[in-house]
A and B are shown apart, each in its own frame.
Chain A
Amino acid sequence: MGGSSPCASCKLLRRRCAKDCIFAPYFPSDDPHKFAIVHKVFGASNVSKMLQELPVHQRADAVSSLVYEANARVRDPVYGCVGAISFLQNQVSQLEMQLAVAQAEILCFQMQEPNLPTHQIDQVDKSFLLSNNNFDDNNIPQYLSFASSSNVIQDPLKKESLWT
């Protein structure tokens, strides 16, 4: 960073912040905690290697997700992000069950009164309920055996969280 102040990583690592410092664009000096937590969990050397292996336009997202994971692991040293995944999988299962019950009720109405308007029902995707296609397509493993933890759920990648 030349004559300007060193980035948060170089400050923490107590080294000169070069012009082409790989950390500088993503760890500004005004947010030292961000690098501190990533360094604590992953290590500066590993983070540097990971960033070097990525094209420049993907590095910001990579840093965001690393920061998220590091925060998760600090908040929950046993389960980390997996706790959040397990919790969310439970939520999805519960919602799918509720949806199945509700749609069964709709089918009862249809059977009792076949002439009732069903324009909304036709658009309901029943396959959403009856299969776990979403999980199969994304290869998301079922971690329901882990104790679920909501300690770490917040905004991944700046999306709105449902649990705040």
Chain B
Amino acid sequence: MRLEKCWFCSSTIYPGHGIQFVRNDAKIFRFCRSKCHKNFKMKRNPRKVKWTKAYRRLHGKDMTQDSTFEFERKRNRPQRYDRINTEKVLQAIPKISKVKATREKDHITKRLSAGRVNRRAEDRRELEQSISLVKAPSVLKEDATLTLPKQKVTVSYAQTENTPMEE
């Protein structure tokens, strides 16, 4: 049993899911769900469809080259079963996938960090420009910080009874 990859969106196809299409030239297309299948029938190019892995890789949204990809490679020659090796592999796989996951996350974070800088600059600019909407200019002159003004509240004290303390 093998877990295959969807031809359109590159997600894994678990057993019992999806459709396989064999073309006349004997090329096999596997789809994880009818969404991908229908897109394929519409002759859409997965490299142009935003939510697919192919697009994301092509446009640099996801990590493309990394040493963790070399661990997973489809071998066409069957190998004899070897318990020791299999045990090692089973131990290794979770570690590899953890490393891969962290690396992918970092890649995305790095990509988005540029935006963070821009956003901060934008916020600052907006604050400087529009502070007059919440703070009167005269108040601003006195207190030049870009914060909300301190509101003056008139407190009316109720007439306190001068009740002598009861003994």
A complexed with B: no
